[in-house]
Structure 1
Amino acid sequence: MNDTGLRERAEAWRQSDPDPATAEELARLLAQGDMAELADRFSGDLEFGTAGLRGVLGAGPNRMNRAVVRRTSAGLARYLKEHVPDATTRGVVVGRDARRLSAELAEDTATVLAAEGIPAHVFPLPVPTPLTAYACLHLGAAAAIMVTASHNPPEYNGYKVYWGNGAQIIPPHDTGIAAAIATVEPANRVPLLTVAQAREKGLWRDIPDALGEDYLLAILGLRVYKRGSDTLSIVYTAMHGVGGVWAERALREAGFPRFTPVAEQHMPDGRFPTVRFPNPEEPGAMDLSRATAERVKADLVLANDPDADRLAVMAREAGGGLRMLTGNEVGVLLGHYLLTQSTQRARPHVVTTIVSSTQLGDIARSLGAAYDEVLTGFKWIANRALERERTEGTQFVFGYEEALGYTAGTVTRDKDGVGAALVMADLAAWCESRGTTVLGYLEEIQRRHGLYVGAQRNVTLPGSAGAQAIRGIMDAFRARPPSHIGGEAVRAVLDYQRGVQGLPPSNVLALELEGGGRVTLRPSGTEPKIKYYFERKETPAQGEPLARARERAETRLVAFIDAFIALARERGQPT
C-alpha cells in the first residue's frame, strides 16, 4: 500500500471510529505524517484466532480498541445466531479484568450483543477469567467473552471467546467467527443499545453474587486432603490482578489461617506499578513475593497472574531457601497427587501439551490412566477431555501446560489459577501431615519416575520484520533440520504443521535426540516471540543424592541449549 492509499484508509477508519480518544490519536498521526506508524497499524487487521484477540491498545485495525471490539462482537453475535439456534434465549456471558479500557470494551460487547437480540449476562465488577468460564457452564450460555490480556504488559488488552461447552473456541468456530467479523460494517454503523435500553429489554442481565459463591464452593470441592493446616504459612500475590479476593477467601475457608498477601500487589491495578511485565515467569516479577515470604518465614508462595488463570509456586527447600518451581514441576506434582490420592469413578484421564514435560505421560502410563498430548493452548486440553468423556467414559482429573496453566476436575473447562492454588495448598498440607514438604514429595516422584529437567528460551522479534524473521527461522529448520545437536544424533523430526499423532496442523517443530532429549520450536500465538522448549531426562543412581543428579542433568541441559542456539543463529535468528 502506497502512502496515499495508507492515508485514505487511515482517514476512513478515523471517520468511522466511535471512540473520540482513538479518533484523535489517528488524526495526530496523520497530521504528523508518521507513515511507519500508520503502516504498522493498517498493514492488516488484528487477527481473530483460537485465542480470540489480543494486542496493544491504540487506534487502527491492528490494535485493540473500541472500534475493533464492536465489530468483533457484531460478527460473533451473527455467527452465534446462525450456528446456535437458541443463542437468543441462552445468551452470552461477558466478563472483564481490571485493565485499562476493560470496562468500556466489556460494555461495548454487551450492548452490541443486546442490539443483536442476544442477552448479555454481565459481571458488574472485574472477575477472574476462570469465573467467566465457570459462568458459561453454570448459566448454560451459548458462549462467553472475557475481556483480558492475561499476563501481558499494561499497554495490552484482549478478548477471549468460549463456546457453549465452556472451553475456548477451536476450529471451525475460530475461522467461522473471523469470516463473520470480516463482513461487519464500519464500527460507527454497528448497532448497539445503551445500557439502559438493554436493561429495559431484558438483554442486559447482571450476574448475581451467588454465582461467585457457587464457584468458590465448587473449587473447595476439588481438595483431596481437605483438612487445611494451622501451621502451614502461605504467601500469596495477585500480581495487581483480580484474583486476590477470591484466592484469599478460598484459602481461608479451606483452613489456612496463616495466609499473608503481598500487600503492594493484592488489589487490582491495571498500571501494574510494581512490575513491568506482570507474569510470574518474568525476571523480577516475584521479588516482592519472595521478600514477603522471607519476612514471615512462609513455607509456600502462590502467585496468580492478573486475570488469575495461571499459578506460580515457590516452596521452601530443606536448607531453608525458597525455590521457584517450574511449570512442569507444578504440573507433575498436581497430576501425581490427583491421580494417586483422589478417588475416581471411572478411568482417570490427564492431558498436557506437546511443549510440556513428557513426565506426566510416563506417570499416567505407569498408573494405568488415560493420557493425551495436545497442541499448545488450554482450548485443546479442555476439548480433548470432553471428547474422551463423551466417547470413552473417562473421568478427567487434571490438565496442564508448562506456561503455568492448570485445572483440576471439571469445575471449569479452562485453566484456573485460583482452583489450582487451592489444590496446591491442599497438597502442601497433606505433605506436612506425612512429615515431608512439597519439594520432598517432588523428590519422591523423581526417584520413582525419573528426573526431568527443562528450560525455555524466548526470542522477542517485534513488528512486521520480526514476524518475517520468525517465519524464516521455522522455514530454515524445516528445510535443513540438523542431524546432530551438540554431538548427539537427532532421532526424529516431528513437523506438526503436517499433522502428527492425529493432531490438527500447527506451526510447531520438535527435534528428538537419540539420548532422550527434545527441543520444540513454536512461534507464540499472542506475543511477537519465537519460543524454544528444551527437556532432558536423568536417572539418579541408587542412593545418589538427588541434588547431584540434578546438577549433572542441568549441566547437560545447558550444553544442549547452547548447541541448539548456535544452530538457530546459523538459520537466521538475530544475535
Structure 2
Amino acid sequence: MDKYRSWIQGSFDDDTKEELRNIEKNTEEIQDRFYKELEFGTGGLRGKIGAGTNRINRYTVSKATQGFGDYIINNGKKDKGIVIAYDSRHKSEEFAKTAALVLADNGIKAYLFDSLRSTPELSFAVRYLHAAGGIVITASHNPPEYNGYKVYGEDGCQLIPSLANEVISCIRDIDSFEDIGMMDEKEAKRAGLLEIIGEEVDNVFVSQVKKERVSNDIDKAIKVVYTPLHGTGNIPIRRVLKELGYKNIHVVNAQEKPDPNFSTVEYPNPEEPAVFEIAKGIGEEIDADLLLGTDPDCDRVGAVVRNNDGDFIVLNGNQTGALLLDYIMTNSKLSENGVIIKTVVTSELGRVIAQNHGLETIDTLTGFKFIGEKIGEFERNGDKEFLFGYEESFGYLKGTYARDKDAVVASMLIVEMAAFYKKRGISLYDALMDLYDRYGYFKESLHAIKLEGIEGTEKIKNVMDTYRQTYPVDINGKKVVKVNDYKESKTIDIEEGKEEKIDLPSSNVLKFILEDDSWFVLRPSGTEPKLKIYFSANGESREEVDSNLIGMEKDIVQDIMNMVK
C-alpha cells in the first residue's frame, strides 16, 4: 500500500495516477500490481500492461533501459549504440521510443526502426550495424493485455544468464524512477543519438534469408495460405516468397493488418490449432497444399498440412522440425563437423535423423538464446559448424545471420520443402509418415497449468520442490530410470545410484526418463504464470506410442492437479 500511495503522490504522469485512483477500493488488484517488481529474467521483462511495479509501463521500461545502458557503459561499449525494434502490441511503439530516449540521455546512440519489425530482424540488425546490443518490445504470443521487453547482446543473441545477471544487478542499483532521464526526441536526433532505420536493413536481411534456400528443383505453383496473425510477419514473409517466384501465396485478409487486440483469435499463437480456422476456410476454397501462421513478433511459425483423408491437421513443432531437418540434411552438402542443436524438451527424433546423416546433436536448455550461444562458440573455436537449430515450441533457424529463431527463414523453407515434395507427388504428411517408417514412431504433448498471482507462484514452487525431493518410481507401469535435475546440474542414474554433472547453466527444470526411453519434463514458464509439463513417447507403432503417452499424461497431470488444488 505504501508503494501504491507513493505512485499516486509521486512525480508520475496524470494518466498513471488516474488509472491507480480507479482501483483504490480493489485491494486484491493493488496487491497484484505492487507486491513485487516486474522481474527482469534472463530474457528481459514480460507482463500485463498497466501502472504499478509489477506491470509493464513507461516507468518499468525506462528502469530496465537505464540498467541496460549502465551495463553497456560499464563494459566500455557506449559508442557502439543499441538497436530497437517493436511489434504490433499495445504501447509497443511508445515503449520503444521511451527506451531510445533513455539511452540517448546516457549518451548511447539508439537505432530505432521506423515501424514494426520482426524479432529475428532485430537480432540480425544488431550484428549488421555492429551495435553493442538490442532491445525488442514484444510479448510474443501472449494475450493482448501483455507486452514485453527483450534484451540482446552484441552477437545478436538474447542475453545468456550470466550476462543478464549483470544487467539485473545494474537495474537493482537504481534507487528511484526520478533518477532516470529521457532526452527530448528532437534534441536526440540533432545530437546524433537517435537514428531512424528501416529499408536498408530490410533489404540486407531479406537477402540473407534467401541465401538459406536449399533446392530450386521445386513446384513453384504450390498453393499456400499464410496468416501473420495481425503481427510483423506479413511484409517480410510475403516479400521473400514473392522474390523467390511463388505465385500462389494467399494471405488471410482478416488477419493481415497489425491489430494489438488480435481480434480474430483468443491467443495469437500458431501452436493453437484454433488460430488457423479462417485460414482453413480459405484453404478449402482454393484447394491449398499448405497453411502457415506466424506469431506477432514473427519468430515462431506453425504449419498445417493435409492428411490422407484430405483434412487439414496442424503439425507440432517437433514434427515440423524433424521434417525440415531431414529435408535440409538430405538435400545439402554436409560438412563432417556439422552439428544440429535442439533443446532438452524437444523430441529425440531429430537426434535419430541427424545420426543417420552422420551428424552430432547437442542439447541446450529451453530458450533459443542457448542455441545462439552455441553458434557463437562454434565460430570462436572453429571446431564445429552449425547447420540447423530448433525447439518444440515452433522455433527454427538455418544460417548464422541471426542468433534467434526466425519464422521468416522457416516459412521460406517450409514452403520450399512442400514444393519440393509436391513436384515428386508427395505431400508433407506423406513425408512425415515416411520419417516414422524409417526411424520409429515419436509423439509428444504439452500440458500447461495456469497458476497466477502470489498463490500460484507458491504452488508451482511446491510442485517442483516435491518432485525434486521425492522422485516418482513408476509411471504408467514403467520404471523411472534416470532424472536430470538442471537446477542442480546433475543427472541421477537411479538403478546404479550414480550421479554425473550436466554441463549446462542452472535452470529450474526436471526431466524424468523411463525405462522405454519415454520421458516427461517439469518446467515453470519463464514468461507466463504457468507450470509446463512436456511428455514424449516413442515406439514401433502409433498404437503403442499413443497408449504410453496417454498413460504418462494421466498419471502425472492428475498427480500435479491434486497438489495445486
- How far apart in 2 are the matches of 1:293 and 1:19? 49
1:500-519 pair list within 5 angstroms = 500=490, 501-519=502-520
1:239/1:304 contact within 8 Å kept? yes
- How far apart in 2 are the matches of 1:163 and 1:353? 21
- How far apart in 2 are the matches of 1:420 and 1:562? 34
* Identity in percent: 36
> What SS class does the counterpart of residue 29 from structure 1 fall into?
coil
Match of 1:261 among 212, 232, 251: 251
**What 5-or-longer segments of structure 2 have no aligned partner?**
491-501
- How far apart in 2 are the matches of 1:358 and 1:450? 11
Aligned residue number for residue 45 of structure 2? 53
- How far apart in 1 are the matches of 2:334 and 2:62? 44
- How far apart in 1 are the matches of 2:241 and 2:215? 14
1:279-298 pair list within 5 angstroms = 279-298=269-288
CA 1:228 to 1:146, structure 2 compared with 1: closer, same or farther past 3 Å? farther
Aligned residue number for residue 378 of structure 2? 388
CA 1:370 to 1:80, structure 2 compared with 1: closer, same or farther past 3 Å? same
Residue 26 in structure 1 maps to residue 20 in structure 2: yes
TM-score by length of 2: 0.95
What amino acid is the match of 1:461?
A: L
1:311-322 pair list within 5 angstroms = 311-322=301-312
Cα-to-partner distance string for 1:191-211 (whole Å, 9 max, x where unaligned):
111110100000001113121
Q: Cα offset for 1:227?
A: 5.0
- How far apart in 2 are the matches of 1:343 and 1:251? 24
Cα-to-partner distance string for 1:140-198 (whole Å, 9 max, x where unaligned):
10000000011000000000000001100012211111111112243244111111010
Aligned residue number for residue 191 of structure 2? 201
- How far apart in 1 are the matches of 2:54 and 2:216? 48
TM-score by length of 1: 0.94
- Of stretches 206-215 and 152-161 in structure 1, the one that deviates more from structure 2 is 206-215
What amino acid is the match of 2:65?
A: S
CA 1:485 to 1:17, structure 2 compared with 1: closer, same or farther past 3 Å? farther
What amino acid is the match of 2:44?
A: G
RMSD: 1.5
2:139/2:146 contact within 8 Å kept? yes
Cα-to-partner distance string for 1:429-470 (whole Å, 9 max, x where unaligned):
111222212122222222222211111111111111111111
Match of 1:243 among 233, 242, 260: 233
- Of stretches 218-227 and 295-304 in structure 1, the one that deviates more from structure 2 is 218-227
Cα-to-partner distance string for 1:524-557 (whole Å, 9 max, x where unaligned):
0000100111111112xxxxxxxxx324422331
CA 1:463 to 1:283, structure 2 compared with 1: closer, same or farther past 3 Å? farther
What amino acid is the match of 2:509?
A: V
Cα-to-partner distance string for 1:297-324 (whole Å, 9 max, x where unaligned):
1100111001111010001223211111
Q: Cα offset for 1:16?
A: 4.1
- How far apart in 1 are the matches of 2:336 and 2:51? 52
- How far apart in 2 are the matches of 1:18 and 1:345? 58
Query: What is the aligned residue count?
Result: 554
- How far apart in 2 are the matches of 1:49 and 1:113? 20
Residue 77 in structure 1 maps to residue 69 in structure 2: yes
1:226/1:254 contact within 8 Å kept? no
> What SS class does the counterpart of residue 288 from structure 1 fall into?
helix
- How far apart in 1 are the matches of 2:394 and 2:10? 40
Match of 2:546 among 536, 544, 554: 554
- How far apart in 2 are the matches of 1:211 and 1:228? 29
1:122-521 pair list within 5 angstroms = 122-226=112-216, 229-345=219-335, 347-500=337-490, 501-521=502-522
**What 5-or-longer segments of structure 1 have no aligned partner?**
1-5, 540-548
1:522-541 pair list within 5 angstroms = 522-539=523-540
1:327/1:404 contact within 8 Å kept? yes
CA 1:264 to 1:180, structure 2 compared with 1: closer, same or farther past 3 Å? same
- Of stretches 390-399 and 377-386 in structure 1, the one that deviates more from structure 2 is 390-399
Aligned residue number for residue 544 of structure 1? none
2:157/2:403 contact within 8 Å kept? yes
What amino acid is the match of 2:35?
A: S
1:19/1:67 contact within 8 Å kept? no
> What SS class does the counterpart of residue 147 from structure 2 fall into?
strand
- How far apart in 1 are the matches of 2:129 and 2:64? 23
Residue 12 in structure 1 maps to residue 2 in structure 2: no
Q: Cα offset for 1:422?
A: 0.4
Q: Cα offset for 1:392?
A: 4.2
What amino acid is the match of 1:489?
A: K
- How far apart in 1 are the matches of 2:452 and 2:273? 20
- How far apart in 2 are the matches of 1:11 and 1:337? 59
- Of stretches 196-205 and 274-283 in structure 1, the one that deviates more from structure 2 is 274-283
1:351/1:385 contact within 8 Å kept? no
> What SS class does the counterpart of residue 286 from structure 1 fall into?
helix
What amino acid is the match of 1:405?
A: G
Aligned residue number for residue 543 of structure 1? none
2:39/2:45 contact within 8 Å kept? yes
Q: Cα offset for 1:515?
A: 1.4
Q: Cα offset for 1:345?
A: 4.8
2:218/2:423 contact within 8 Å kept? no
> What SS class does the counterpart of residue 236 from structure 1 fall into?
strand
